[in-house]
C-alpha cells in the first residue's frame, strides 16, 4: 500500500467523496468507505488530536465509527448506503446580532462619512459578534480526516474510483487555512470535455448560498465568485477575499496523457473561505459523479 494518493497517475477505489447539499441551512456531506472508517478507528492518532485541541482551543474529539465525528461533534452520521457511511456537516453562521447598539455607528445604522449603511452592522444598528469557533472545528476535523485518508489509499474494493483528493490545513494566521490536492484522471477528463471557457453556475450558486448563510448578508458580491474551466482541465475556483482561489499547480496537462492534475490555493485567510471553496468543489464533484460512474 502506498503512503499517499497518486491520483495524477492511477485510479484507486473511492474511499471518500465530498458532496454539497443545498437547503437551509446548506451542508457538506462526506461519504466514507466503511473499510476506511474501520481502518481509521484502529489508527487513533491521539497525539495529533491533542495537538490540534491545544492549538485551536477545541473540545472533545469523537472518533470515526460513532454517531458523531470530529472536534465539537462537527459531523453527524446521517446515512449508510451499501459500502459507504455518510456524515453531514451543517454550514455554521458566523455573525450574530447582539441586543446592544453597534459600537461603530452608535446604533444609527449609518456611515455618515460615506453616506451609506454602516459596514460593521450592515445597517441593522446592532452590535455584531463573529464566532469563528465552529468553522475552526470543521477545518480541524477535515484536517484530521484528510490526513488519515492519505494513509489508506486504495483500501477496499469500491466499485467507484476516487474522483479527487484534498488535504485541508487548519491555520492560525493569514494565509494558513490552505487546501491542496489532486483532481483524478476521470475528473480531469470530465473537465476537459467542456470546450473553451466554461463557467459552472451550479458551483457558483453553491458558494453564494454558503456565503449568504455564513455572513447573513442579503447583498452578495457576485463578481468575487467564479468557477470555470479552460481547455485542458484548467479549473479555477474563486471566492471573496484577497485573490482567494484554487488553481492548478502546474501546466502540461493534455487529454491524451490520461493523467490527473494537482491543485493548490492562494490567500486562504479564514476557515470561512476554506468552507466556501469546498462547497464549490463538492458541487463540482456531484456534477462529475452524475456522468462518471
| Residues that bind Zn ion in the complex, under the rule CB under 5 A | 102, 104-105, 118, 120-121
Segment (H or E) for 279: helix 271-291
Residues 6+ apart with CB under 8 A from 42: none
In whole angstroms, how close is the CB of 98 to Zn ion at the nearest point? 12
In whole angstroms, how close is the CB of 97 to Zn ion at the nearest point? 11
Of 5, 48, 72, the closest CA to residue 143 belongs to 48
In whole angstroms, how close is the CB of 128 to Zn ion at the nearest point? 8
* Helix residue ranges, H only, 87-184: 133-149
Q: Residue 118 or 246: which CB sits closer to Zn ion?
A: 118
All cell numbers assigned to 244 = 482567494
Q: How many CA atoms lie within 13 A of 70 on its CB side?
A: 23
All cell numbers assigned to 11 = 485510479
CA distances from 177 to 107, 130, 155, 268 (A): 34, 18, 28, 5
In whole angstroms, how close is the CB of 129 to Zn ion at the nearest point? 13
Q: Residue 112 or 250: which CB sits closer to Zn ion?
A: 112
Q: Residue 121 or 268: which CB sits closer to Zn ion?
A: 121
Q: Residue 105 or 244: which CB sits closer to Zn ion?
A: 105
Residues 6+ apart with CB under 8 A from 291: 190
Segment (H or E) for 197: none
In whole angstroms, how close is the CB of 78 to Zn ion at the nearest point? 39
Tally Cβ neighbours within 10 Å of residue 156.
16
In whole angstroms, how close is the CB of 110 to Zn ion at the nearest point? 8
Residue 109: phi, psi to the nearest 5? 80, 0
| Nearest-angstrom CA–CA distance, 230 and 221 | 23
Q: How many CA atoms lie within 13 A of 181 on its CB side?
A: 26
Tally Cβ neighbours within 10 Å of residue 154.
16
Distance, CA of 270 to chain centre: 12
Q: Residue 45 or 109: which CB sits closer to Zn ion?
A: 109
In whole angstroms, how close is the CB of 271 to Zn ion at the nearest point? 25
In whole angstroms, how close is the CB of 115 to Zn ion at the nearest point? 14
Amino acid at each position: 500500500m502506498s503512503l499517499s494518493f497518486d491520483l495524477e497517475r492511477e485510479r484507486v477505489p473511492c474511499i471518500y467523496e465530498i458532496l454539497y447539499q443545498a437547503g437551509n441551512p446548506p451542508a457538506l456531506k462526506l461519504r466514507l468507505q466503511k473499510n476506511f472508517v474501520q481502518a481509521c478507528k484502529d489508527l487513533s492518532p491521539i497525539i495529533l488530536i491533542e495537538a490540534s485541541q491545544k492549538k485551536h482551543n477545541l473540545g472533545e474529539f469523537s472518533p470515526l465509527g460513532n454517531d458523531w465525528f470530529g472536534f465539537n461533534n462537527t459531523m453527524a452520521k446521517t446515512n449508510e448506503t451499501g459500502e459507504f457511511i455518510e456524515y453531514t456537516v451543517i454550514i455554521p453562521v458566523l455573525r450574530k446580532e447582539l441586543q446592544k447598539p453597534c459600537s461603530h455607528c452608535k446604533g444609527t445604522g449609518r456611515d455618515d462619512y460615506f453616506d451609506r449603511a454602516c459596514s460593521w452592522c450592515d445597517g441593522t444598528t446592532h452590535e455584531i459578534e463573529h464566532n469563528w469557533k465552529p468553522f475552526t472545528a470543521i477545518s480541524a476535523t477535515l484536517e484530521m480526516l484528510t490526513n488519515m485518508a492519505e494513509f489508506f489509499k486504495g483500501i477496499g474494493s469500491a466499485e467507484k474510483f476516487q474522483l479527487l483528493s484534498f488535504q485541508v490545513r487548519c491555520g492560525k494566521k493569514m494565509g494558513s487555512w490552505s487546501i491542496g490536492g489532486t483532481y483524478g484522471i476521470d475528473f480531469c477528463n470530465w473537465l476537459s470535455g467542456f470546450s473553451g471557457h466554461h463557467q459552472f453556475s451550479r458551483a457558483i450558486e453553491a458558494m453564494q448560498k454558503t456565503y449568504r448563510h455564513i455572513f447573513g448578508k442579503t447583498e452578495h458580491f457576485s463578481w468575487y465568485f467564479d468557477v470555470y474551466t479552460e481547455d485542458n482541465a484548467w479549473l479555477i475556483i474563486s471566492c471573496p477575499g484577497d485573490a482567494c482561489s484554487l488553481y492548478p499547480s502546474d501546466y502540461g496537462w493534455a487529454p491524451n496523457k490520461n493523467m490527473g492534475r494537482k491543485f493548490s490555493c492562494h490567500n486562504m485567510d479564514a476557515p470561512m473561505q476554506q468552507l466556501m471553496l469546498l462547497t464549490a468543489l463538492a458541487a463540482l464533484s456531484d456534477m462529475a459523479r452524475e456522468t462518471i460512474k
